[in-house]
Amino acid sequence: MIKNHAFQKLWIGQLTANLGDTIYIVGLISFVYGISDTATSLALVPFLTTLSRFISSLISPVIIDRFSMKRLLVISQLFKTICLCGL
């Protein structure tokens, strides 16, 4: 069992967020395929997801230097939730 409670909360939060991301991507792929019925548009979902993660990894060092980690985590999760609700 994990003794450090702060780490345990972080681990559970990350586990839940990753599980939600996986379910979200599978649902989005299913939704796109239901609308378009083409494999090309189906393949664009993971491609665009990967591309956006690549671009954000290039930008993140600049942002990390300007803001606190806690604030970045809250803002990024809030932005992600807003985008998900928008879809």
pLDDT digits (tens, 9 = 90+) for 19-73: 988 888 888 888 888 999 888 888 888 898 889 889 989 998 888 889 888 888 8
Give me the pLDDT at residue 41, please: 86
Is the CB of residue 42 less than 8 Å from the CB of residue 36? yes
The pTM of the full predicted model, rounded to 2 decimals, is 0.61
What is the torsional sign of CA 84, 27, 21, 43? Answer: negative
